[in-house]
Amino acid sequence: MRKWLFFLIIFISGWLQVSLIHNFKLFGIVPDLLLMCVVFASLNMEKKWAFIYSAFSGVLKDSFGQSAFGLNTLFFVIWCFLIIKVTKEMQIDDTLLRMALVFVVSFLHNFVTGIIFFYSGRSFSFGIFSKILFIGSIYTALIFPLFFKAVRPLISKLSYSRLR
């Protein structure tokens, strides 16, 4: 039963991303709460559960979003894999390191998604792409510590988390 708690957190994050969070736009950009769920799961959950949560976050974002279905699911699992690989090499336990990691993952996700949109024939200006790429990534990274502080106490008692 406790394993469903993070699924609920992901679902609530997805719902907030498409509803209430739009009241907190910064230059027309909202933070990517579902990508934050992926980073949180990758840093704090066992590998198996991190992949499951990342795939669920991707499916949810694909179902709420306008991109090609499966794009976020694929890339969220890839980001999860890469974060797990990075955390094997270095310890990411500082808030600034976590924010930097979220910025890099968000930047890469926005960049790859934008390139795929461009090559699939969707037209958008370079200014909009740059705004999403930089402001969206910075905004997501700045909000992550709040997300982390809100979710960590709920998850720290779960047996399948890597939190101590």
Task: Please give the average per-residue pLDDT across 77-82, as a whole number.
Answer: 94
Using a 10 angstrom Cβ sphere, with 0-12 exposed, 13-18 middle and 19 or more buried, the burial of residue 149 is: exposed
**pLDDT score of 61 more than 80:** yes
Distances (CA, A) of 103 to 2, 5, 6, 46: 30, 26, 22, 22
pLDDT at 67: 67
Token pair for residue 3?
Answer: 């394993």
**pLDDT score of 125 more than 80:** no
Q: Which is more confident, 159 or 132?
A: 132
Q: Which amino acid is at 83?
A: I
Angle at CA of residue 119, ends 113 and 121, nearest 5°: 105
Q: Which residue has the tokens 């949560």?
A: 53
Domains present along the chain, CATH in parentheses: 4-155 (1.10.1760)
Token pair for residue 23?
Answer: 């009241």
Separation of first and last alpha carbons in the chain? 20
* DSSP annotation string for 67-93: SPTTHHHHHHHHHHHHHHHHHHHS---
pLDDT tens figures, 132-158: 889 999 999 999 999 999 888 887 765
Report residue 48's pLDDT band, with 50, 70 and 90 as the boundaries: very high
- What's the whole-number average pLDDT of the chain? 86
Report residue 1's pLDDT band, with 50, 70 and 90 as the boundaries: very low
- Helix or strand or coil: residue 139? helix
